[in-house]
Amino acid sequence: MPTIKDVAKLAGVSISTASYALNDQPNVHPETKARILHAAKELSYHPHGIARNLKKRQTNNVGVFIYAFAGPVFSETLEGIRQTLQEHDFNIIVSSGTSSMNLLLERQVDGAIVFDNHISDDVLKHYAAHGMPLIVLDRLIQEENIYTSLIDNESLVYHLMSDMIKKGYQRLAYLAGPENAFNNRMRYVGFEKALKEHRLTPFGYFQGDFTIQGGYHIGKELIKRKNRPDFIFCANDESAIGLMQALKESNIRIPEDIAVAGFDHIAIGQLITPKLTTISIDHKAWGKMVAKVMIDILKGEKVTRSFRPEGKVLVNESC
């Protein structure tokens, strides 16, 4: 592969002049510049990013570290992040598993957006302490260089549940996501709070895993019982969709026999019958917002340490 040295030689200039020309510096004679650019094209030269990154001590890469590549929520958020980063000439690097750690440890990114609880607080704090800006979306960490953006889970679920209780539902169950998931825990807090306020106790707690399949299995278990809830709040839409599928297969009417609600407002939820009541988060907008904050941080501009995506209760046919 051609290097800047080859370009300089072909154009008959020094390496530094070539570098100036290629980087659009104003201090190089138009004619020389043309010659250099031409030589570069001739050789189809492209700067070696690694070398540039080493010298400049920055990569222009933003890491997005997620615990899995699955799910409509991630898709949309990632797409939002991607768009905004692209507009500002940053590269998006999505990774998962040990790769994420490596990329962080080896500083192959200038900053990272983290949605992966496999990366410990300590690691995050350590790199933040060394100047790596981090935006964390799945937990709360108070630390220099660590920013958090969290969904207002508690309050949103609280409002939804309060509405439902007013509507008359009484035997209220919760279909949970993974126990260690921040979003799941906070959603449960909101759920419980609403019930407590009305002197109700949870009618059931089912352990799901945020997936359609998980919700489906819970549904299949549920129909074996005789004593069923009249309302199930699901910690996300995907569980809700799986659950509804199972209920429908047993001819349990939604919402007449059991009402269901979810969280996220993913597209499929609005295509099924009955349309899913849910809490709408604009994930794409959130992604854009998060990316914009990261860019501002990297450009040295002042940003708020904590910011939220918007969310609102969306009552539909399933309740």
Partner DNA sequence: TTGTAAGCGTTATCAG
Partner DNA sequence: CTGATAACGCTTACAA
Tell me which residues touch DNA (CB under 7 A). Answer: 1, 3-5, 12-17, 19-20, 22-23, 26-33, 45, 47-48, 51-52, 54-57
For position 103 contacting its own copies by CB under 8 A, the verdict is yes
Q: Which residue, 30 or 168, has its beta carbon nearer to DNA?
A: 30
State the minimum distance, in angstroms, from the CB of residue 49 to DNA.
Answer: 8
State the minimum distance, in angstroms, from the CB of residue 293 to DNA.
Answer: 25
State the minimum distance, in angstroms, from the CB of residue 23 to its own copies.
Answer: 14
3-state secondary structure at position 176: strand
For position 97 contacting its own copies by CB under 8 A, the verdict is yes
3-state secondary structure at position 181: coil
Binding range to its own copies, per CB under 8 A, among 34-42, 103-111, 141-149, 303-311: 103-111
The 10 Å Cβ neighbour count of residue 113 is: 29
Distance CA 262, CA 315 (A): 10
For position 213 contacting its own copies by CB under 8 A, the verdict is yes
Q: Which residue, 2 or 274, has its beta carbon nearer to DNA?
A: 2
3-state secondary structure at position 228: coil
Are the C-beta atoms of 200 and 230 separated by less than 8 Å?
A: no
For position 15 contacting its own copies by CB under 8 A, the verdict is no
3-state secondary structure at position 196: helix
Quote the tokens at residue 271.
């295509």
302 binds, among DNA, its own copies, none (CB under 5 to 8 A by kind): none
For position 269 contacting its own copies by CB under 8 A, the verdict is no
State the minimum distance, in angstroms, from the CB of residue 195 to its own copies.
Answer: 30
Q: Which residue, 5 or 198, has its beta carbon nearer to DNA?
A: 5
DSSP letter (8 states) at residue 124: H
Distance CA 83, CA 85 (A): 6
Distance CA 174, CA 194 (A): 12
260 - beta bridge partners?
232
Indicate which single residue of 7, 93, 151, 293 sits in contact with its own copies (rule: CB under 8 A).
93
State the minimum distance, in angstroms, from the CB of residue 314 to its own copies.
Answer: 17
The 10 Å Cβ neighbour count of residue 272 is: 17
Q: Which residue, 44 or 227, has its beta carbon nearer to DNA?
A: 44
Distance CA 104, CA 119 (A): 10
Q: In terms of Cα–Cα distance, which of 264, 309, 318 is closest to 137?
A: 309
DSSP letter (8 states) at residue 101: H
State the first-to-last Cα distance of the chain, in angstroms, to the nearest integer: 63
State the minimum distance, in angstroms, from the CB of residue 6 to its own copies.
Answer: 13
Site for its own copies in 113-132 (CB under 8 A): 126, 130-131
Quote the tokens at residue 180.
């260690």
45 binds, among its own copies, DNA, none (CB under 5 to 8 A by kind): DNA
> What single letter denotes the amino acid at residue 137?
L
Binding site for its own copies (CB under 8 A): 1, 44, 46-54, 59, 61, 68-72, 74-76, 78-79, 82-83, 85-86, 90-99, 102-103, 105-108, 126, 130-131, 212-213, 216, 242, 245, 248-249, 267-268, 271-273
